[in-house]
Amino acid sequence: MLPVPKKYFLTSGSSEGETELTAFDGALLKAGIGNINLLKVSSILPPGAQYSAKPELPVGGLVPTAYGSIVSTEPGVTIAAAAAVGRSKDSFGIIMELVGKMSKDEAEEKIIEMVKESFKMREMELKDVSVSCVEHTVEKIGCAVAAVPMW
């Protein structure tokens, strides 16, 4: 079993590319996580994990990350990606990711409601919510990504 992460940060980025994969790669680079290996995880922030400014993660490092991404090849369409962390006062936290054809404002509003609902379902008290969100208007092939890397 991998060690339980003690720190996390929120990030997001968007990019154009000549292919869907290079658009995704560019969005990861803009988000500051393009040179690590993301280990996709689901949506639980470990108890006691603390927010930290983005660290210098080792190139090629394996980093547990909750993330969502969207790629579009429809010129003129606006896409958005959002990641949110809801923290409880004395327990674990919840991470939510949201992507879609919408504005940044719509994504931020929806993801905050998703966090609130997830806390309500668990009968937990929500202390605070942090969000990272980005929108992108597609020129040719665009991507938006939002993530919560943990280490």
Q: Looking at the annotation, which residues are catalytic?
A: 37, 42-43, 97
pLDDT at 3: 85
User: Measured on CA atoms in the order 35, 110, 100, 95, is the torsion positive or negative?
Assistant: positive
Strand order through the sheet with 78-88: 44-45, 93-100, 78-88, 126-137
CA distance 144 to 6: 27
Taking the complete model, does pTM exceed 0.85, yes or no?
yes
- β partners of residue 51: 8
For 47-99, write each residue's pLDDT tens digit.
999 999 888 889 999 999 999 999 999 999 999 999 999 999 889 999 999 99
Which of 52, 13, 53, 45 is closest to 147 using CA atoms? 13
For 9-47, write each residue's pLDDT tens digit.
999 999 999 999 999 999 999 999 999 999 999 999 999
Q: Name the residue ranges covered by the structural domains of the chain.
A: 74-136
Tell me which of 3.40.1190.20, 3.50.20.10, 1.10.10.10, 3.40.50.970 is the CATH number of domain 74-136. Answer: 3.50.20.10
For 107-134, write each residue's pLDDT tens digit.
999 999 999 999 999 999 999 999 999 9
* pLDDT at residue 5 tops 90: yes
pLDDT at 133: 98
